[in-house]
Amino acid sequence: MLKEKLNKYTIILASGSPRRQQFFKEMDVDFTIQLKEIEEIYPKNLKSEEITNYLSELKASAFENLTKNDLLITSDTIVWHEEKALGKPKDYEDAFKMLSSMSGKTHQVITSVSFKTSEKIETIHEVTKVTFKELTASEINYYLDNYKPFDKAGSYGIQEWIGLIAITKIEGSYSNVVGLPVEKVYTKLLSYA
Return the active site residues. Answer: 76
Residue type, 49: E
Q: Are 80 and 107 in contact (CB under 8 A)?
A: yes
Q: What is the DSSP letter of 118?
A: S
Distances (CA, A) of 173 to 45, 78, 84, 110, 179: 27, 14, 21, 10, 10
Look at residues 145, 142, 136 and name the one whose alpha carbon lies nearest to residue 100: 136
Q: Are 178 and 19 in contact (CB under 8 A)?
A: yes
DSSP string, 149-178: -TTSGGG--TTSHHHHHHEEEEES-HHHHH
Pairing relation of β-strands 84-86 and 106-116? unpaired
Question: Which stretches does DSSP call E strand in 42-105?
Answer: 70-81, 84-86
